């Protein structure tokens, strides 16, 4: 019993010391991601420091980059529907970014899905298959979790956030009284839509036929992982970084469902900047990236827009 109590005392004291200098909070930085109806937004700040001392706020001496691109937060754009960002220890963040780069490049090359559209997706004749044109955010999150847990004994001190639009197949029901049950009309309808199934529901009062067909849409996807790769997806928001406690509060208060593009940017930006008002380890500039899906949820016309916000300089 004696050695056990001594061990517990040692562990507790070193825990206290560890909390005082948490590597995840050493360099500062926060991120917040929110989902709208068919768009997602992610906000990142621009402070890099050593504990209390601020070293860099993102102005690099490289004049071939844009004004905001020296941002210390690590931000990745693997393809046009996913954005990755992480806060945490910057050295580990850079090493992790390099590993992700190598693996993503390898997978993308092997799968042949570089993001270029080869033919339209509706020409796929195999039932149940959607043409793989881009790596989905869910797949990238799985890869990220795998990499992070692979370093279980000496983890990377990063807290990644994945946002994107993922393609899902949503069943839609078409009610059409005038459809004939058999005949060529139905066959042509089956051939025209993707993998249809005919469900005929015969009511006692009316003979209405329902046809269930699938429509591919882009839905927002948000996922935050901890430094060991445990995923937590959400329909509303995810946050990470030093100000994550305040961010949970402001985002919960301000988020409403079904936000549209610029509205989403405003809500996300406001929640982010308000939380950073009370946090001295983040700040010095906020940038919001909006991944805007198209109106009807199809895969074309995805835009990624960058908004630079004014933020508190401390």
Is position 313 an interface residue for another protein (rule: CB under 8 A)?
yes
Q: How far is the CB of 272 from another protein (least distance, A)?
A: 19
Q: CA-to-CA distance for 11 and 18, rounded, in angstroms?
A: 10
Q: CA-to-CA distance for 272 and 46, rounded, in angstroms?
A: 12
Q: CA-to-CA distance for 298 and 130, rounded, in angstroms?
A: 13
Is position 230 an interface residue for another protein (rule: CB under 8 A)?
no
Q: How far is the CB of 89 from another protein (least distance, A)?
A: 6
Closest to another protein by CB, 156 or 221: 156
What's the gap between Cα 89 and its chain centre? 20
Is position 121 an interface residue for another protein (rule: CB under 8 A)?
no
| Closest by CA position to 24, among listed 234, 220, 217, 282 | 282
Helices of type H across 82-219:
90-111, 137-150, 184-192
- How buried is 46 (Cβ within 10 angstroms: 0-12 exposed, 13-18 middle, 19+ buried)? buried
Is position 31 an interface residue for another protein (rule: CB under 8 A)?
no
Is position 21 an interface residue for another protein (rule: CB under 8 A)?
yes
Is position 101 an interface residue for another protein (rule: CB under 8 A)?
no
Site map 80..99 versus another protein, x via CB under 8 A: ---------xxxx-xx----
Q: Are 47 and 232 in contact (CB under 8 A)?
A: no
Which range in 22-30, 249-257, 261-269, 272-280 contacts another protein by CB under 8 A? 22-30
- Binding residues for another protein, rule: CB under 8 A, are 4, 7, 10-11, 14-15, 17-18, 21-23, 26-27, 48, 50, 53, 55-57, 59-64, 66-67, 70, 72, 89-92, 94-95, 153-154, 284-285, 313
């Amino acid at each position: 019993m004696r050695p056990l109590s001594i061990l517990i005392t040692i562990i507790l004291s070193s825990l206290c010391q560890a909390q005082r200098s948490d590597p995840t909070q050493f360099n500062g930085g926060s991120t917040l991601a929110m989902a709208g109806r068919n768009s997602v937004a992610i906000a990142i700040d621009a402070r890099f420091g050593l504990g209390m001392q601020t070293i860099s706020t993102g102005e690099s001496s490289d004049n071939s980059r844009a004004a905001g691109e020296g941002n210390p937060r690590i931000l990745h754009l693997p393809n046009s529907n996913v954005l990755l960002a992480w806060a945490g220890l910057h050295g580990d963040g850079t090493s992790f970014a390099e590993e992700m780069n190598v693996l993503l490049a390898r997978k993308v090359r092997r799968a042949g899905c570089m993001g270029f559209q080869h033919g339209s997706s509706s020409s796929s004749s195999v039932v149940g298959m959607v043409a793989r044109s881009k790596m989905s955010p869910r797949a990238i999150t799985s890869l990220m979790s795998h990499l992070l847990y692979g370093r279980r004994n000496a983890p990377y001190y990063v807290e990644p956030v994945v946002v994107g639009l993922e393609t899902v197949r949503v069943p839609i029901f078409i009610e059409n009284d005038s459809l004939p049950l058999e005949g060529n009309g139905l066959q042509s309808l089956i051939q025209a839509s993707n993998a249809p199934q005919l469900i005929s529901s015969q009511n006692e009062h009316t003979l209405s036929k329902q046809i269930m067909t699938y429509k591919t849409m882009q839905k927002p996807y948000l996922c935050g992982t901890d430094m060991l790769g445990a995923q937590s997806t959400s329909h509303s928001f995810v946050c990470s970084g030093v100000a994550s406690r305040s961010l949970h509060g402001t985002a919960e208060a301000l988020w409403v469902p079904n936000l549209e593009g610029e509205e989403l940017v405003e809500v996300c930006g406001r929640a982010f900047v308000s939380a950073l008002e009370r946090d001295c380890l983040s700040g010095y500039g906020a940038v919001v990236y909006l991944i805007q899906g198209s109106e009807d949820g199809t895969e074309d016309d995805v835009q990624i827009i960058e908004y630079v916000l004014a933020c508190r300089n401390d």
